[in-house]
Amino acid sequence: MKKILVTGGAGFVGSHLCERLLNEGNQVICLDNYFTGDKRNIIHLMDNHFFEVVRHDVIMPYFVEVDQIYNLACPASPIHYQYNPIKTTKTSVMGAINMLGLAKRIKARVLQASTSEVYGDPEVHPQKEDYWGHVNPIGIRSCYDEGKRCAETLFMDYHNQNKVDIKIVRIFNTYGPKMHPSDGRVVSNFIIQALQNQDITVYGDGLQTRSFQYVDDLVEAMIRMMNTENFIGPVNVGNPNEFTILELAQKVIKLTNSNSKIIYLPMPQDDPTQRRPDISLAKEKLNNWKPEIELNEGLVKTISYFDNLLKEIGPIS
């Protein structure tokens, strides 16, 4: 039985990860400040004696004895990370310093939830790990993109200078049950709009692309990465099947039998025009890992989750 700290454990990905780690017989400490996380995501785990929840902000040091740390604490949707951009950068950078300092003291292994945003609006397609990216350092997405880039730098420097046992995973767009219903990310937005027969808000012409990964595939890859020897990353983790945002809107309308109409709104500043991971390194290093759940199947599961949520909490505007 391992003792594992998950920062951001009450969020979308973190709550799935905590559940899976507990199911595998580990002790889990879930640390969160509840900025975008929700106790409802983890309430079903509270009866488990091996699950502890701590309200804490990663910009402050935290002391605990654990074997492994998954560092996920950071708002991930553009609406939430742009709400208080200074805090977003602090969370990425000071959170990384605090978790790396902790890992150094207690000799724990620490995994950073990095992002495809380190590639910015990429000029190379698909993106491989050796691409350095095309990131605006002073735009509205910079607090997140540059915060995560600096966190990667810190991880590598703690590894090289202090021999801290690190792992870096670059996560591409991930969706699934327990996404925050108001975080404005495209999959949850379109599903909630379609289920309520509201207009589907496509930004720009909808021809920008993303590659959508179901959350269970991500959790599997993160756990494999954490438990791999002699490989620190960075490694891309995502589903390489690429869709335009317009295609996604059409799929969601079809799968929900919705009467929604597509409307076009202005494209946000610095919105990447294309994104698709090259996952050959993940396949090679993570025991032949590859995504198992394709978009239609994942959308059906996610639609069912939001359908139940809307019945429980009422309409969302």
Q: What is the contact surface with ligand NAD in residues (CB under 6 A)?
A: 7-8, 10-14, 32-37, 57-59, 72-76, 91, 113, 115, 171, 173-174, 180
Instruction: Kindly state whether residue 126 participates in binding ligand UDP, applying the rule CB under 6 A.
Output: no
Which segment (42-50, 56-64, 203-211, 297-305) binds ligand UDP by CB under 6 A? 203-211
Could you say which of 5, 53, 218, 245 contacts ligand UDP (CB under 6 A)? 245
Name the residue nearer to ligand NAD (CB basis): 58 or 135: 58
CA distance 17 to 48: 15
Strand partners, 7: 31, 71
201 binds, among ligand UDP, ligand NAD, none (CB under 5 to 8 A by kind): ligand UDP
Check the CA dihedral 154-109-37-35 and report its sign. Answer: negative
Contact between 78 and ligand UDP (CB under 6 A)?
yes
Q: Is 305 among the residues that bind ligand UDP (CB under 6 A)? A: no
Helix axes 245-256, 186-195, angle to 10 degrees: 30
Q: Does 21 bind ligand UDP (CB under 6 A)?
A: no
DSSP 217-251: HHHHHHHHHHT-SS----EEES---EEEHHHHHHH
CA distance 301 to 179: 12
Q: Which is nearer to ligand UDP, 155 or 190 (CB)?
A: 190
Query: Does residue 273 contact residue 124 with C-beta atoms inside 8 Å?
Result: no
Q: Which of 62, 81, 119, 144 is catalytic?
A: 144
In the shown chain, the binding pattern of residues 253 to 272 toward ligand UDP, with x for contact by CB under 6 A and - for none, equals ---------------x--x-
Whether 144 sits among the annotated catalytic residues: the reply is: yes
Instruction: State the CB neighbour count (10 A cutoff) for residue 40.
Output: 13
| 247 part of the interface to ligand UDP, by CB under 6 A | no
Q: How far is the CB of 209 from ligand UDP (least distance, A)?
A: 8
Report the distance separating Cα 56 and Cα 32, nearest Å.
Answer: 6
Q: Which of 159, 167, 210, 276 binds ligand UDP (CB under 6 A)?
A: 210
Q: What are phi and psi of 173, to 5 degrees?
A: -40, 120
Binding site for ligand UDP (CB under 6 A): 77-78, 173, 184-186, 189, 201-203, 208, 210, 245, 268, 271
